[in-house]
Amino acid sequence: MNLDGIGVTSRRTRERLVDKLKDKGIRNANVLDVMRATPRHIFIDEAFSHLSYDDIPVNIGYKQTISQPYVVARMTEAVLDAAPLMRVLEIGTGCGYQTAIIAQLAEEVYSIERIKPLHDKAVANLETLGIENVHLIHGDGSLGYPDKSPYDAIIVTAAPMGIPNELLAQLAQNGRLVIPVGGTAGQELRLITRKKDQFISRLLDHVRFVPLLKGQVKN
């Protein structure tokens, strides 16, 4: 990550956010380090920039939000295994915050977004941070991105009503899928781990994401 020329908000503001993440149960030191180092304000429009280091989701336009830092940290922690993550897929790039976090902990990241202006924003944001191991795709990721599968981890940041089999099929051996499942009233955040052709599912948390929708939006 390259922070030259980025007015990075004071270390103390970001340290306070990291303290909050620790209070809420985030333990992985690598995740905490990356959350501490990554400026969130560059992902947020100026009108809302005062909320950048609060532990809440923030509007990014197009009826979408940048995820709550705790949820980003929780999902990231859940997919980090003892083994290094070589290839990761994210579904729902939004403005690219979760993408930037996981990119610092994985070899190569693919991330797909259906709304073109958000995809474009994410391209610009990751360029600003000098993050180069990410491939951003504009398209419908509701059935994953089989072209580059299998993945060591799949992070889904919009909620389907059920877990698509297509996503399970794109997991590598011991691969992990983290996904919110359910309607707009609230969802279960689930971690699925692949062991040969067995899929072990664990409930991580209760969350609220925007719905995973079909098709793509050009402008």
Cβ proximity to ligand SAH: between 66 and 78 the closer is: 66
- Which of 159, 108, 114, 153 lies closest to 134, judged by CA? 108
Q: Can residue 31 be called a binding residue for ligand SAH (CB under 6 A)?
A: no
- Interacting stretch for ligand SAH, rule CB under 6 A, among 12-20, 45-53, 90-98, 177-185? 90-98
* Span 146-205, contacts to ligand SAH by CB under 6 A: 157-158
Q: Can residue 38 be called a binding residue for ligand SAH (CB under 6 A)?
A: no
Kindly give, in sequence order, each residue whose CB lies less than 8 Å from that of residue 112, ignoring residues fewer than 6 positions away.
89, 90, 91, 92, 93, 136, 137, 138, 139, 140, 141, 145
The verdict on whether 201 is a catalytic residue reads no
DSSP secondary structure of 148-188: G--EEEEEE-SB-SS--HHHHHTEEEEEEEEEEES-TT-EE
Residue entry with tokens 């990014």: 60
- Interacting stretch for ligand SAH, rule CB under 6 A, among 6-14, 86-94, 184-192, 194-202? 86-94
Give the residue, chosen from 34, 118, 129, 192, that forms a contact with ligand SAH under the rule CB under 6 A.
118
- Which one from 10, 49, 52, 67 is the annotated catalytic residue? 67
Q: Can residue 94 be called a binding residue for ligand SAH (CB under 6 A)?
A: yes
Q: What is the closest distance, in whole angstroms, from the C-beta atom of residue 142 to ligand SAH in the complex?
A: 4
Q: Is 123 helix (H, G, I), strand (E, B) or coil?
A: helix
What are the strands of the beta sheet with 134-138, ordered from one edge?
Answer: 134-138, 106-113, 85-91, 151-156, 171-181, 187-195, 198-207
DSSP secondary structure of 28-44: -HHHHHHHHHS-SGGGS
Q: Can residue 142 be called a binding residue for ligand SAH (CB under 6 A)?
A: yes
Q: What is the closest distance, in whole angstroms, from the C-beta atom of residue 65 to ligand SAH in the complex?
A: 6
Q: Can residue 125 be called a binding residue for ligand SAH (CB under 6 A)?
A: no
Give the residue, chosen from 115, 154, 189, 192, that forms a contact with ligand SAH under the rule CB under 6 A.
115
Residue 56, φ and ψ in degrees, nearest 5 = -140, 155
Active site residues: 67
Residues that bind ligand SAH (CB under 6 A): 64-67, 72, 91-94, 97-98, 112-115, 118, 140-142, 157-158, 210, 212-213
